[in-house]
Amino acid sequence: MHSTLAVLTWLTDPWQEALTRRALLEVVLLGVAGGALGCWLLFFNLAYSAESLAHALLPGLVGAALLGLPLLLGGAAGLLVGAVAVAVAGRIDGLDRDTAVAVVVTGLFGLGVLLALSPESPAGLQGLLFGDVLGVSDSDLLLAAGLVAVVLAALWVLHDRLLVVGFDRLSAAGLGVRPLAVDVALLVLLAVALLVAVQGLGNLLVVAVLMAPASAARLVTRRMGPMLLVSGLIAVLAGTGGLYLSYYAGTAAGASIAGMLVAVYVILALGGGLVRAVVPRDRALAQPSA
């Protein structure tokens, strides 16, 4: 009885303050959206794009901080500038796409750091780079909830079209689906998700919530629907675990969350490898017949 109470106290202790409760809600919101969206990013090979866009929006964030504007607005402007710069750089002859993206993104990221290190810079670089999940306000949360609802609704409506294009892009038109429209929709959703998540996890760690839960869910599911659910669940649980870690170990919240997200993937991957090594798969069952 005593120990049950102790466990209960241990579990509820971090949520005594409104500050941490808001952080928990933020983690749940961006876990659900990032986890689900990440599954599609994984199959559309957009991990590199996600990483690049996240870094490219730093000057926008810093600019907003300097001017005292909402971070979301600055992030959106930064994304727009980044996307246009990448599109333009991609058209330069003799520069392949990956290189063009790398040049633009590091350029923008450097510009962002330069701005952040200027004497006028208020809160400092750290919150923007690594996130400030404990610093979210009620209005931040409300906005995040709205954007997450938009992302989830869009993923619900687009589900079958995303399946068609992800499965076989070249046949999509014959099935009445325009791959370009689906790509653009997915990139817009990525931009929205980045804007939401960057507040909590920061510029450098935001990719963790998009790619780690999806990669982990991929290991344990065989269908897209369950994968989306499991990925969202992993993101929420690992995110919450990260907050506990942060509370009891006194580590930085954003980094703890990102660490937990990646840890879940590593544990599942190692566990899966171990299971396969110990229990050889029944090839007779797995082998397809003619």
Partner 1 sequence: MTDPVPAPGAAAAAPADARVLVRTAGLACGYAGTPVLTGVDLTLRAGDRVAVLGPNGGGKTTLFRTLLRELDPLAGTLDLSARCAVVPQTERSRLDFPVSATDVALMGAVSRLAWWRRPSRADRRLARAALDQVGLAEHADRTFGDLSGGQRQRVLVARALVQDAPIVLLDEPFTGLDAVSAERLEQLLLALADEGRGLLIATHDVDQARRWGTVLCLNRRQIAYGGAEVLTRSVLEATYGGEIVDIDCAVHGHHPAVLPAHHHEH
8-state DSSP, 275: H
- Nearest Cα neighbor of 165 from 155, 179, 154 is 179
Region near partner 1 per CB under 8 A, out of 87-95, 144-152, 170-178, 201-209: 170-178
User: Which tokens is 79 given?
Assistant: 């994304």
Upper half-sphere CA count for residue 68 (Cβ side, 13 Å): 1
Cβ 228 vs Cβ 214: under 8 Å:
no
| Sign of the Cα pseudo-torsion (68, 74, 77, 78, in order) | positive
Site for partner 1 in 123-162 (CB under 8 A): 156-157, 159-161
**Shortest distance (Å) from residue 285 CB to partner 1:** 10
Which of 221, 233, 251, 269 forms a contact with partner 1 (CB under 8 A)?
A: 221
- If one asks whether residue 274 binds partner 1 (CB under 8 A), the answer comes out as no
Site for partner 1 in 33-92 (CB under 8 A): 43
User: Which tokens is 160 given?
Assistant: 């079958």
Which of 143, 145, 219, 224 forms a contact with partner 1 (CB under 8 A)?
A: 224
Q: CA-CA distance, 144 to 137, in Å (whole number)?
A: 10
- If one asks whether residue 272 binds partner 1 (CB under 8 A), the answer comes out as no
Which of 166, 202, 241, 242 forms a contact with partner 1 (CB under 8 A)?
A: 166
Burial profile 6-25: b = 16 or more Cβ within 10 angstroms, e = fewer: eeeeeeeebeeeeebebbbe
**Shortest distance (Å) from residue 54 CB to partner 1:** 26
- If one asks whether residue 284 binds partner 1 (CB under 8 A), the answer comes out as no
Using the minimum distance from each CB to partner 1, give the nearer residue, 44 or 109.
44
Region near partner 1 per CB under 8 A, out of 77-85, 89-97, 203-211, 223-231: 223-231
- If one asks whether residue 218 binds partner 1 (CB under 8 A), the answer comes out as yes
Cβ 148 vs Cβ 31: under 8 Å:
no
- If one asks whether residue 164 binds partner 1 (CB under 8 A), the answer comes out as yes
**Shortest distance (Å) from residue 98 CB to partner 1:** 21
Size of the site for partner 1 (CB under 8 A): 28
Cβ 220 vs Cβ 78: under 8 Å:
no
| Residues making up the chain, counted from first to last | 290
Residues of this chain that bind partner 1 (CB under 8 A):
43, 156-157, 159-161, 163-164, 166-168, 170-171, 173-177, 218, 221-224, 227, 286, 288-290
